[in-house]
Amino acid sequence: MTALIEFRERIRRLYANSGRFVNAGAAFLLIVLTLFMTAATLGYKGPFSSPVIVLAIALIMCFMPHSAILTMLLGVIGYEIYTVGLEAAIVYAALCLVFIAIYFIFKPGKSYCMSLAIVLGLAQFFGPMPVIAGLIFTPFYSIPMCMGIIVSSFVTYVAGNTGMYAASSSLSISKKILSTATGVFLDESLWINIFLLAGVTIIVYLIRKLSARRSWVIAVITGCICTFLLSILVSTVLGDPVNYLVLTINVLLEAVTGVVLIFFFFMVDYSREEILQFEDDEYVYFVKAVPKLSVAIQDMKVTRIKAHNIKNITRTSDNVTFVRENTDTTSSPDDKRQLPPPEDTLTDVPGRKEEDAAEETFDRAKEENTADTLGPEKDEGAEEIYSDTIQ
């Protein structure tokens, strides 16, 4: 568990230092997935299906403001729909005007929520969306997600009715426009998904805001249960068949997303919970304090020590000579220097101990027979003692 918490702290530190680039990278991936999945669903073969053009557009869009990203993303999808049928593009343009008006009225501020909803809606796995909006954001963030679900349903309908927009079709333009509008907005599965997304988001958000212990865990569990039961209930009332495989995958994705969000945003230690009391002139404050689970990450500082390479070691009875390569690039390669041997290496040289003992004897004799008291003949005696000891 400590390793996981340390990994989380490193991710947080990375985001704190490079949050702008992380957000831009996430937006880039979402835009690329949105454009590729839209083109694949429509069978689009135009310029926006080219990987190079899609990557270039996504790279430009990821650094734009959220409103510009929304407008440009809807415009590119609209052009792809236009290549399928003009009538579908007209309905889509009217729908985009409503979306942009709603977006600027409520200003949720996160256009990549809509892009995520388009991707998950085209894949029919919308389970993570209510948990993301309810735990991390507010219910207002379900607005761009619902817009993304509508766009994904529109793209799916146009892709399934391409024959109606062909030039050989006997329907008039007005009938094609009416058929497109009724086919998209009278689809019961669309409104079931919108109802589930908005309803589960509000439930998760309200439970998450409670002061009860493990409110986030309770919110995720309740959201999964509500998604499963409400999907079956609404489908049964409307008479639509229930795809239990897709529903189970959505619930599992919702649970996994909730666990990941709890790990990164709300890992606390309830065993150290404290109730604090503060008071001022007008109020008495009771505060519940629950510490977060965290570990201290120490920054490792590496100091590199550059040592000379020892090339040759020469041992004699009197001395040890170390010859090392000169790493100075300004000198010639043949230039070598002799360095004094280390003290611990010289202790193993034969005769070294006897020489040290002779020096100690000479120093002691010299102290006892100084020139001031005993004359120069005593110094000569000390020299004789030292020479006898050496021999």
At 49-97, the pLDDT tens digits run 788 888 998 888 888 887 788 888 888 899 989 888 888 899 999 998 8
Residue 274 has phi, psi (to 5 degrees) of: -135, 145
Q: State if pTM tops 0.85.
A: no
Residue 273 has phi, psi (to 5 degrees) of: -65, 140
Which of 366 and 145 is assigned the larger pLDDT?
A: 145
If you average pLDDT over each of 86-95, 139-148, 259-268, which comes out highest? 86-95
Which three-class secondary structure state does DSSP give residue 279?
strand
- Report residue 333 CA to chain centroid gap: 50
* Longest distance between any two alpha carbons in the chain, whole Å: 138
Each as own residue / partner, the long-range contacts of residues 32-38 (CB below 8 Å, 24 or more positions apart, any chain) are 32/58, 33/115, 33/119, 34/73, 34/77, 34/115, 34/118, 34/119, 35/76, 35/77, 37/118, 37/119, 37/122, 37/123, 38/77, 38/80, 38/118, 38/122, 38/155
Q: Break the chain into its structural domains and give their ranges.
A: 15-161+173-267, 310-390
Our CA angle for 116, 118, 53, nearest 5°, is 90
pLDDT at 346: 47
> pLDDT at residue 40 above 50?
yes
Give the whole-angstrom CA distance, residue 183 versus residue 190.
Answer: 11
Q: What percent of the chain has pLDDT over 70?
A: 72
**363-389: pLDDT as tens digits:** 676 666 554 444 444 445 555 544 554
Residue written as token pair 């309830």: 270
**326-353: pLDDT as tens digits:** 444 444 444 444 445 555 444 445 555 5
